[in-house]
Structure 1
Amino acid sequence: MRSLLAAKLGCLLGLLLLPLLCGLLPARLRGAGPHGRWRSFVGCVAGGIFLAACLLDIVPDSLADMREELQSQQITVDFPFPEFVLTVGFLLVLVIEHVVLDCSERQAGEATPLLSCAEGPPQPADPAEWVVETGAHHFPVAFQAHSSFRSFVLFLSLSVHALFEGLAVGLQDAESKVLQICMAILVHKSVIAGSLSLLLLQSRVSACCFVALIGTFALMSPLGMAVGIVMTQNPGPSSTMAQCLLEGMAAGTFVYITFLEILPHELNSPTCRLPRVLAMLLGFSAMAALRFLG
């Protein structure tokens, strides 16, 4: 029992430090100049990673968990309830975003609806000018669409998912299972942390907010793992159904952000179309390979 607890605590520390490091390193790309073109392609790689994480990991896992829980509770309904929960999460973000945009339509940069076509001055021919920094005097429309609110919604969705990933590790009762699941989550979360960091850098968030969001995201899996450890040490009433509901809604928000925010934002450039698509396919293939290897 002590060796199992020691393994969990070691995994908890790893799940905190490595994703935190991977999330903070891309902050060195904030500079303008030659880094702009390179960072734009890295953003497309990140888009492919989020596409794979959405369709191959988060959505199928949440649907499978919900169906399994309904079956274990012997609940039979002639209605696609897991898909309904996912759609509720999708619509929740849609409604909240448009309420916020409607209330702040006079504020520049936040009033452009996500689904609208790009309007305004043409984008610069040089991708190096796409770099967004606090205090810059020019913001192309495509980057204004990457609002701070949407970045926060993405952060919230990923954080909820990371919380449940950590909870899954903390609830294991075998040391081998703890190490196996932790290694998979560690690779997955580190890649996601780097991608989230790049997308936050493309938003108009301050340096303090950036560090706070990345730090909070890094803490989510260890927090969930700590809750799981406490639950195994002190068994109590199960709240699996509530967990499945929250995870399903988080998956819905992830679908919204992936398909209506990240991919349109990264691919909505008239220049370097094929290299951008290839970069997105590279990110998708990398995450798909990790998923295939378990």
Structure 2
Amino acid sequence: MDITTARAISMLTLGLGAFFSGMLPACFSEAARQRHPLLLSCLLCFGGGVLLSTSLVHMLPETRERLPQYSELTLCLGFFTVYLVDELSHLFYRSENHERDIPVGEQTRLLPRDHDGEMREREGTSELCHVSHAEPCNRSSSSVVGLLSALFVHSVLEGLAIGLQESATQVLLLLAAVSSHKFVVGFCLGAELCENFPSRACAHVLCIALFSAGSVAGIGIGAGLETVNSLKDSIAVPVMQGLAAGTLLYVTVSEVLPRERARWHERKRSAGLLQFLSVGLGFGLMYLTTIYLDHDAE
């Protein structure tokens, strides 16, 4: 097999595989998602663990290899950039629906008497909590845009690495490495899009198509470049990688996990533990995948 065929196979595999994995969560109907809300929450927490591991275990070390003195700084810059964009979007587009000034006592009085047991459980749980569990605004498009942008940049860089390989064997080996986690991340992105935009199918398809096109574009760019050596030494690649890692870190710890914890913490006592296990499972899966791929690369 020549290298051109291997690159074409890589483009088709990553493009179609990422698209179908990202569209898979949308195949479940809204009624099905409402029947199993805790399962959906655990799935989103699993995705949060995957994104957290992708940021800190996969992307940050790659940045540190090329930019050892400023790798953590670029990650923080990516974090604060999305933080600023998120706050600016709330400043200019905040609606009255985001105000949550109703006391909990007034809300619980509206519950029927057959929910008294659940109400007492919530009140008991609230007394044990030392932080507020008001659900944050989860319809902010800035977090979704930040997540999609970071994953797109990361996909382009991964595709670029595949396109720059000099033999068909190296291309196929790196294809297997990238596919092993890209499809998982694509599924998690699709689940997050379903959560934020449940009734906007066109937006979901567009976002997943953009995510899928990242690796395809990267492979094409890498294959068509003539100045390969100068590109490999460019400082722009690790900088973009670090910024993308910071973006994923913000989306995970400031958007996904706080939202899901707040939504379930006072509804079911065991939900928090299930969410924790889901985050740990997602993180561990990506960690083991990264370690395995790094071991094979050596």
Interval of TM-score (by shorter of Structure 1 and Structure 2):
0.7 to 0.9
Q: 1:184 to 1:260 in 2, by over 3 A?
A: same
- How far apart are residue 167 of structure 1 and its match? 0.3
- Return the letter of the residue paired with 1:252: G
- How far apart are residue 208 of structure 1 and its match? 0.7
Q: Give the secondary structure class of the aligned counterpart of 2:23.
A: helix
- Return the letter of the residue paired with 2:76: T
Match of 1:49 in 2: 50
Say which structure, 1 or 2, has more relative contact order (CA 8 Å, 6+ apart).
2
| CA distances 1:152-208 after superposition (whole Å, capped 9, x unpaired) | 111111111111000000001122211111111112110000001101111036211
- Return the letter of the residue paired with 1:228: G
More helix by share: 2
- Aligned-residue CA RMSD (Å): 2.6
Does residue 1:238 correspond to 2:230, yes or no?
yes
Does residue 1:145 correspond to 2:138, yes or no?
yes
Match of 2:193 in 1: 200
Q: 1:21 to 1:102 in 2, by over 3 A?
A: same
For residues 50-199 of structure 1, the aligned pairs below 5 Å read: 50-67=51-68, 80-106=69-95, 108-109=97-98, 142=135, 144-199=137-192
Match of 1:7 in 2: 6
Stretches of structure 2 lacking an aligned partner (at least 5 in a row): 109-114, 119-132, 294-298
Bigger mean CA deviation after superposition, 56-65 or 158-167: 56-65
| CA distances 1:54-103 after superposition (whole Å, capped 9, x unpaired) | 22101221222223xxxxxxxxxxxx422222222221111122112111
| CA distances 1:204-258 after superposition (whole Å, capped 9, x unpaired) | 3621111100111011001011000001xx3367242122222222222122112
1:44 and 1:267 in contact (8 A); partners too:
no
Q: Give the secondary structure class of the aligned counterpart of 1:293.
A: helix
- The percent of aligned pairs where both chains have the same amino acid is 27
1:147 and 1:204 in contact (8 A); partners too:
no
Match of 1:292 in 2: 291
2:164 and 2:228 in contact (8 A); partners too:
no
Stretches of structure 1 lacking an aligned partner (at least 5 in a row): 68-79, 113-117, 126-139
- How far apart are residue 107 of structure 1 and its match? 5.6
Q: Following the alignment from structure 1 to structure 2, what is the Cα–Cα distance between the partners of residues 54 and 237?
A: 27
- Return the letter of the residue paired with 2:238: C
Q: 1:192 to 1:8 in 2, by over 3 A?
A: same
1:29 and 1:35 in contact (8 A); partners too:
no
TM-score, normalising length: structure 2: 0.79
Match of 1:249 in 2: 243
Q: Following the alignment from structure 1 to structure 2, what is the Cα–Cα distance between the partners of residues 165 and 282?
A: 24
2:58 and 2:290 in contact (8 A); partners too:
yes
- Return the letter of the residue paired with 2:56: L
Which protein has the larger Cα radius of gyration, Structure 1 or Structure 2? Answer: 2
How many pairs align? 258
Q: Following the alignment from structure 1 to structure 2, what is the Cα–Cα distance between the partners of residues 141 and 214?
A: 30
